[in-house]
């Protein structure tokens, strides 16, 4: 299984922005997790709503990847998340361009940002926001694992399980 570097924070503006601003200091497969993001965002700079301490918010930094691997990178993150959640009896599906839904309600957002030089990505940053224990949303079409499973989820255990699944699948899919 591939090794990774993990940085955990109580609060960040955005896990993806933190990695983007500091990517030169970190190695390939650095993961940044925050218990709260004050300005989390999705595609087209849409706001990602997340209450403090109740959701899983993390970003992964990949470095020096071939531009030709973009399809595999996207497949790796999406298929791992979908498979993991389906094993938990969550009937989740991927909805283009970057979200996981259950019954027309958003459960998870995935944002992939890149910077390339010629045929190589200097970096690929994959941001993941998974609604875990939040029950009240500003957006009417959102849900969480807690709502779907009718139980409180241990976010740290969930995070470790998802990271383990991602690391196991990394070498198979990339």
Question: Could you give all domains of the chain from N- to C-terminal order, each with its CATH number?
Answer: 5-173 (3.30.930.10)
Ranges of H-type helices in the chain:
15-22, 70-87, 145-149, 155-173
pLDDT tens readout for residues 32-78: 999 998 865 555 455 556 677 899 999 999 999 999 999 999 999 99
Q: In this predicted structure, what is the pLDDT of residue 49?
A: 62
pLDDT at 172: 81
Look at residue 128 in the predicted model and tell me its pLDDT.
96
Q: Which residues contact 71 (CB under 8 A, 6 or more apart)?
A: none
How many whole angstroms separate alpha carbon 4 and alpha carbon 24?
A: 16
Residue 28 has pLDDT above 50, yes or no: yes
User: pLDDT at position 4, please?
Assistant: 96
Neighbours of 12 (CB within 10 A): 22
Q: What is the pLDDT of residue 37?
A: 85
SS3 content of the chain, % helix, strand, coil (to 5): 35, 35, 35
Residue at token pair 């470095």? 63
The predicted structure's pLDDT at residue 45: 52
Pairing state between β 56-66 and 93-95: unpaired
Give me the mean pLDDT over the 156-166 stretch: 97
The answer to whether the peptide bond before residue 111 is cis (omega within 30 degrees of 0) is no
Mean pLDDT score of the chain: 91
Q: Any idea what the Cα angle at residue 5 is, between residues 95 and 67, rounded to 5°?
A: 50
Q: How far apart are CA 42 and CA 23, in angstroms?
A: 19
- Per-residue DSSP letter, 12: B
pLDDT 10s digits, 66-125: 999 999 999 999 999 999 999 999 999 999 888 999 999 999 999 999 999 889 999 999
Per residue in 128-142, pLDDT (tens digit) is 999 999 998 877 789
What pLDDT does 44 receive?
A: 46
């Amino acid at each position: 299984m591939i090794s990774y570097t993990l940085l955990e924070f109580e609060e960040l503006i955005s896990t993806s922005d933190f990695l983007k601003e500091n990517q030169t200091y970190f190695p390939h497969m650095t993961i940044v997790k925050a218990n709260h993001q004050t300005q989390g965002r999705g595609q087209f700079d849409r706001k990602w709503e997340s209450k403090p301490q109740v959701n899983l918010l993390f970003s992964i930094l990949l470095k020096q990847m071939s531009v030709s691997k973009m399809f595999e990178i996207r497949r790796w993150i999406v298929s791992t998340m979908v498979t993991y959640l389906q094993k938990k009896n969550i009937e989740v599906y991927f909805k283009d361009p970057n979200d996981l839904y259950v019954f027309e309600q958003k459960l998870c957002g995935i944002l992939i940002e890149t910077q390339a030089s010629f045929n190589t990505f200097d970096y690929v940053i994959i941001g993941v926001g998974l609604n875990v224990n939040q029950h009240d949303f500003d957006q009417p079409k959102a849900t969480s694992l807690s709502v779907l499973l009718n139980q409180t989820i241990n976010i740290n255990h969930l995070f470790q399980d998802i990271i383990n699944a991602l690391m196991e699948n990394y070498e198979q899919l990339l």
